[in-house]
Structure 1
């Protein structure tokens, strides 16, 4: 009698007609809100490599990674504020030959940019409404384009100061020369640093303008 009582649970367990898997909550029909293996689409199991590739593509689009066209477009955008503020380098370019050697290959493009008075404004409208406000471009391109635009907008302040305070000689002229040279060197550093970083696939953060650009890029 003791032996039969010990074996009775085993016998009742082995004679059960219910499958073991149906007793778990993954296959329970009483909990339809819970995820079940039966509810999963068969496509997930037919071609797992295709699903993995789709996941990688979606993830890469959501990141700030940039391909070769995005890097090139972003690098070219930093030429816009440099061309627009090239007049501030009239003292530095004539006095320092290394700077003149850097600017010399860009002279034809600068002449084309300066050939029409409204070219700067037209480029501004194109970059802002066609690139920055266009969600088809990656965030990498829109952020760097917005940095170049903000950098160009800041050129209004030294221009207004120079127009309102235009000394001919003396200490005033020295201050204007120092201001113009500082603005030009800042534009040159932003051009070299911004363009080279974009070509390497890295997002540069320019001082003064980076935070303002981030607020404009959604």
Structure 2
């Protein structure tokens, strides 16, 4: 579809930056890849540097509740706030959905077993998807992810 947005630079920046939250959620799942494929270590080093601001924000909130607090703040203060541009609200909601999908996979496969292998596969899918979304935002386009984007368009009004 490749819908273009009337997004100024601020909207493009904030539209892209929210995908760091989904990246932060998925990086831990892919860490095993660095031991299997040592050539990927620089990728994880770069991601760990890129995600420092997210980790600081998560760390400020005690008890390991950083993710859930950020989730509610984003839903209530961004996604449901009509004063914020649709572009930012759309991308925020899409990033949240990616994070929810990652969490569900962690719960299911953490309980049933096999999270290591599934986690690596999820990382190999989600990391490029997040980078794609960030690039699309920087270009002022709505990042289209099958199934996710359709749902997001229906939820964010």
Larger radius of gyration: 1
8 Å CA contact 1:131, 1:145 repeated in 2: yes
**Could you say which structure has the greater relative contact order, defined with CA pairs below 8 angstroms and 6 or more residues apart?**
2
Matching residue within 120, 123, 148 for 2:95: 148
Aligned partner (choices 78, 81, 89) of residue 131 of structure 1: 78
Distance 1:181 1:136 in 2: 38
Q: Residues 112-191 of structure 1: matches in 2 within 5 Å?
A: 112-115=56-59, 116=62, 117-166=64-113, 175-191=114-130
Q: Distance in 1 between matches of 2:54 and 2:8?
A: 28
1:35-65 deviations in Å (ceiling 9; x for gaps): xxxxxxxxxxxxxxxxxxxxxxxxxxxx931
Structure with greater helix percent = 2
| Count of residue pairs the alignment pairs up | 148
Partner of 1:72: 13
Consecutive unaligned residues of structure 2, counting only runs of 5 or more, are: none
What 5-or-longer segments of structure 1 have no aligned partner?
Answer: 1-62, 167-174
Give TM-score scaled by structure 1 length.
0.61
Superposition deviation, residue 113 in structure 1: 4.6
Matching of residues 85-124 of structure 1 within 5 Å: 85-94=26-35, 95=37, 96-106=40-50, 108-109=52-53, 111-115=55-59, 116=62, 117-124=64-71
In 1, Cα distance between the equivalents of 2:73 and 2:96?
11
| TM-aligned CA distance change 1:143 to 1:98, over 3 Å | same
Distance 1:105 1:207 in 2: 29
